[in-house]
Structure 1
Amino acid sequence: MKSFRSRTLLAVGTVAALAVTSCTPGSGSTNPQPVPTGAVRTDAAALGNVTLTVWDQEVRGGQAAQMEQLNKEFQAKYPNIRLQRVSRSFDDLKTTLRLALSGNEAPDVVQANNGRSDMGEFVKAGQLLPLDRYAAAYGWNGRYPETVRQYSSYSADGKAFGKGNLYGLPQVGEVVGLFYNTSKLAALGLQPPRTWPELESAMAAAKARGEVPMMFGNLDKWPAIHVFGTIQGRTSPPGDITTLAFGRKGASWKSAGNRQAAQQLTDWAGKGWLEPGFNGMGYDPAWQAFSKGTGVFLLGGTWLQADLAGAMGAGVGFMLPPPAKAGDRPIATGGTGLPFAVTAKSKHPDAAAAYINFITSEHAMSVLTSTGNLPVADTSRQSAGAGLAKDVLTAFGDAAGAGGLVPYLDYATPTMYDTLTASLQDLLARQKTPDQFLDSLQKDYGDFSTSNG
């Protein structure tokens, strides 16, 4: 997942030191506690007085609202379980979680980026608890199809991604699509584009009228992954993208479709279709500028739904990236938000699993919907009314139903996030040609494939 959040830091509860102050490099042991093998206890009220430390990255708008509501309801139902919540931005969480898991005071429940560079490494180090026993006890496998569970599944040695043991459970689904300013499109005399050539024509028309065609900020480096991945979905078979993204053998970055996508991204920048100052603009300032009327389009994830709806009302729409030609299967980058996992050092794994079960229950999915989020389970049962919420639910359902969701590209190897973000910056700055860009990705991918066996 990849729902990268704002840089706000919020601490809730009495975690004055955020549990990480004692986790200096080299402290503690990387050897996990023994994996429990006894019967699973699902009666949370009978677990005695327990304190759970929970790290999440639900810091923005509707994301924070749903988490606050569900935590409040959980503690009301189970007063014997006290929650100490530490809520951090994606970047902050990514920076500190590795250190925290290796220390003596690891949290009980964490949201872990499910890519190889994070969850894969945590699994390899034995720092996360396999949740298969809990999945069976709570019926998670019935509510979460394999196509969702694969995003949180690894072999016990961390080598195989997308199969093996279950190590986390997400709350939300995600899809990267096209937000558009309805009034600006109308002023241009245009409808939402039905094909990729229509999108490019609309951006050219917007540029000619002095508008910013595509709002985009890449100061944080990772937003370009979503833009490149979206273009790639028009130029490459989805099976090849999935093979690359899961780090499996059988595909190559050095393909004609990937080169076409890299060239097209370079062309967009050269034609002035992207926000002129994108290299110096952060992700949050970019979508916030879009919400205030700058830009006709914004390629972004469904995690922006609540914020954009609150700021723009009926003035914003959402659609899947249009296909290369009419009638093609919808292809979009997406999957799930960051899953909630139980750490191997948790002294209260049954309580931790009960908490995860509560915040991913059928009731929780309705809370997610009401707070402007996209539930990953029971999606078809939700009623979102009209407007942006309906657009988002429909888009996710269409992509998932057609098998058109492809994974985030930085999942591919433990180092692909750094390689891809740096290489995309160089590509956009014209410091690398498309071929040099793909050479960098193929080297990372090839080195990992060789070492991973």
Structure 2
Amino acid sequence: MRKRHLAFGAILAAGALLLAGCSSASDAGSDSTDGTGKTLTLWHYEGEDSAMGKAWAQAITDFEKETGAKVKFEAKSFEQIRSTASQVLNSNEAPDILEYNKGNATAGLLASQGLLTNLDDAVKKYGWDKKLASSLQTTAKYDDKGIMGSGSWYGVPNYGEYVEVYYNKDMFAKYGVEVPKTYDEFVAALQKFADAGVTPLAESAAEYPLGQLWYQLALTKADRSWVDDYQLYKGKVDWKGPELSHATETIDDWVKKGYISKDSSGLKAEDAGTAFIAGKYPIFFSGSWWYGRFQSEITKYQWGTFLFPGAKMSPGSAGNMWVVPENAKNKGLAEKFIDITMSDKIQALLGNNGGVPVAAKTSDITDEKSKDLIANFNTLTGEDGIAFYPDWPTPTFYDQLNAGLQELVNGSKDPAAVNKELGSEYQDGVDQIVNQ
């Protein structure tokens, strides 16, 4: 989740995969980085004022200067790419390179369909594996079933992301709330705001924020083995166990206590984020991708961040990836562009504008708030605390999780019924992937 998922498509037969791997599109000029007279078609969905948007705009300038090629950049919304990827990438309309979401249900699915280029040779050529921590490589590699963590490289991330607590320092001071250091202190802070008539958590159940909070609550009771079972299918997930029971029961409890508004059932991520920007809520639990926007748009109060108290793991991963479609016409140039985004210059630019670079030199990061953002990420990666996202296990689980949490928030189902439904949907999706 940042976010999200790709609708499940038909898996191509082994013969089709073999043909895709041997197609002329994958062979013709795949190593060429001479861009004279050529145009690289590039898609991504980051805002032009975001850290990634700023860094990649500079990367385009550098790429054109270094290669002699022109870049045809086409801004796409996430939904445009999400809803049409399988069809577009399986046609002559495929771009040369695009940003795509990572995980079994997204990049893994396309890789298993033979729609993405195997990047193993490019990784070796450019040494990207030496720039990425092992935990950040998990989502770049997929096996023949599209399951992440092993197999070949099908994408390259150049930024990281994770979920943390954003808080309004002015509201904390006004209501005498200290920054919590333990889970119990966090709950006490929520109660103190509620007692003062303030709903503490900016939330959205129609999109990803509430799902991320739900997963974080499960992680307070979980260990790495549980995450591997949930995300990588290494063992059976018990939907009546302490991890998921605690998560769903706590969300239900927090709605009843007024920590989460019942109105959040119909709100989207943008609604929650802009409400926090406007100073209407003291706390917003969401991803590092909001950081740069908050830096530029929050002007009326002071704000800060901290990792979720009482948990050694948090939702997060390497960021969305650059992928090269199997039908790309300029694969060598696409790989060269990826390498430029991994350069010291672009990594530093990303880091100093509110992003989380994966290969920046510490001395190149000069912005103080950015140092805090990156330090929290480094804390998580240093403790093996990156736990991926709750919707990743199956292509349909993003919508299913949101729907289940909406039912929980509006009171149409109790926690046990929600977990029973989610557990069944989760297992059905996992079985389709594992048994394909």
TM above 0.5: yes
| Structure-to-structure mapping, 1:315-354, within 5 angstroms | 315-323=302-310, 330-354=312-336
Distance in 1, matches of 2:212 and 2:422, equals: 16
| Structure-to-structure mapping, 1:65-144, within 5 angstroms | 65-79=54-68, 81-144=69-132
Q: What is residue 270 of structure 1 aligned with on the other side?
A: 256
Does residue 1:427 correspond to 2:414, yes or no? Answer: no
Distance in 2, matches of 1:424 and 1:3, equals: 15
Report how far residue 199 of structure 1 moved.
Answer: 1.0
- Tell me which amino acid in the other structure corresponds to 2:323: A
| Structure-to-structure mapping, 1:26-41, within 5 angstroms | 32=20, 34=22, 36=26, 41=31
Distance in 1, matches of 2:325 and 2:76, equals: 17
- Tell me which amino acid in the other structure corresponds to 2:403: A
Deviations 1:158-199 (A, max 9, x none): 2x3211111101121111010000111111222211011111
Q: What is residue 188 of structure 1 aligned with on the other side?
A: 175
* Mapped contact 1:115–1:414 kept (Cα < 8 A): no
* Mapped contact 1:59–1:89 kept (Cα < 8 A): no
Distance in 2, matches of 1:157 and 1:288, equals: 39
* Mapped contact 1:57–1:88 kept (Cα < 8 A): yes
Q: What is residue 232 of structure 2 aligned with on the other side?
A: 246
Change (3 A) 1:363 1:124: same
Q: What is residue 298 of structure 2 aligned with on the other side?
A: 312
Distance in 2, matches of 1:293 and 1:415, equals: 34
Could you say what the CA RMSD is over the residues aligned between the two structures, in angstroms? Answer: 2.4
Distance in 1, matches of 2:204 and 2:247, equals: 19
Q: What is residue 301 of structure 1 aligned with on the other side?
A: 287
Does residue 1:376 correspond to 2:363, yes or no? Answer: no
Distance in 2, matches of 1:280 and 1:441, equals: 19
- The alignment partner of 1:332 has SS state of coil
- Tell me which amino acid in the other structure corresponds to 2:222: S
Query: Share of identical aligned residues, percent?
Result: 24
- Tell me which amino acid in the other structure corresponds to 1:135: V
Distance in 2, matches of 1:95 and 1:224, equals: 23
Q: What is residue 56 of structure 1 aligned with on the other side?
A: 44
Q: What is residue 16 of structure 1 aligned with on the other side?
A: none
* Mapped contact 1:380–1:397 kept (Cα < 8 A): no
- Tell me which amino acid in the other structure corresponds to 1:236: A
- Tell me which amino acid in the other structure corresponds to 1:194: K
- The alignment partner of 2:298 has SS state of helix
Q: What is residue 287 of structure 1 aligned with on the other side?
A: 273
- The alignment partner of 1:409 has SS state of coil
Q: What is residue 134 of structure 2 aligned with on the other side?
A: 146
Report how far residue 129 of structure 1 moved.
Answer: 0.6
Relative to the length of structure 2, the TM-score reads: 0.89
Report how far residue 353 of structure 1 moved.
Answer: 0.7
Higher mean C-alpha deviation, range 337-346 or range 225-234: 225-234
Q: What is residue 230 of structure 1 aligned with on the other side?
A: 216
* Mapped contact 2:164–2:285 kept (Cα < 8 A): yes
Q: What is residue 411 of structure 1 aligned with on the other side?
A: 392
Distance in 2, matches of 1:202 and 1:77, equals: 53
Change (3 A) 1:117 1:432: same
Does residue 1:204 correspond to 2:185, yes or no? Answer: no
User: Which ranges of structure 1 fall in alignment gaps of 5 or more residues?
Assistant: 5-28, 325-329
Distance in 1, matches of 2:361 and 2:385, equals: 16
Change (3 A) 1:441 1:50: same
- Tell me which amino acid in the other structure corresponds to 2:426: Y
- The alignment partner of 1:277 has SS state of helix
Report how far residue 253 of structure 1 moved.
Answer: 2.9
Change (3 A) 1:170 1:381: farther
How many residue pairs match? The answer is 419
User: Which ranges of structure 2 fall in alignment gaps of 5 or more residues?
Assistant: 5-15
* Mapped contact 2:140–2:154 kept (Cα < 8 A): yes
Deviations 1:248-286 (A, max 9, x none): 434333312210111001111111112452123321132
* Mapped contact 1:247–1:413 kept (Cα < 8 A): no
